[in-house]
Amino acid sequence: MSSLHWYDWIQPTSPYASFFFGIIFTIIVAITVWVNTRKKTSTCFAALAGMGFTAIVVYILVFTGFYS
């Protein structure tokens, strides 16, 4: 497993860094949705949609050889 670097938040250099920062961003969005709506369903939908989108994009980038 590759390590994280300080500049990975700008342009991730590995799939691990992409997934890590994607999940961090998703958590921030989910907290923002919770603060604004106070609805558990909206918060869960935002979190699951963000995690799914992150996983799909990281898979596509790995499949196309972006990190090679």
Which residues are within 8 A (CB) of 25 and not within 5 positions of it... i.e. 6 or more apart? Answer: 50, 54
Q: What is the pLDDT along the chain (68 residues), one digit of tens a residue?
A: 578 888 998 999 999 999 999 999 999 999 999 999 999 999 999 999 999 999 999 999 999 999 98
DSSP 8-state secondary structure symbol assigned to residue 13: S
46 is written with which tokens? 């935002």
Spatial contact of 15 and 55, defined as CB atoms under 8 Å apart? no
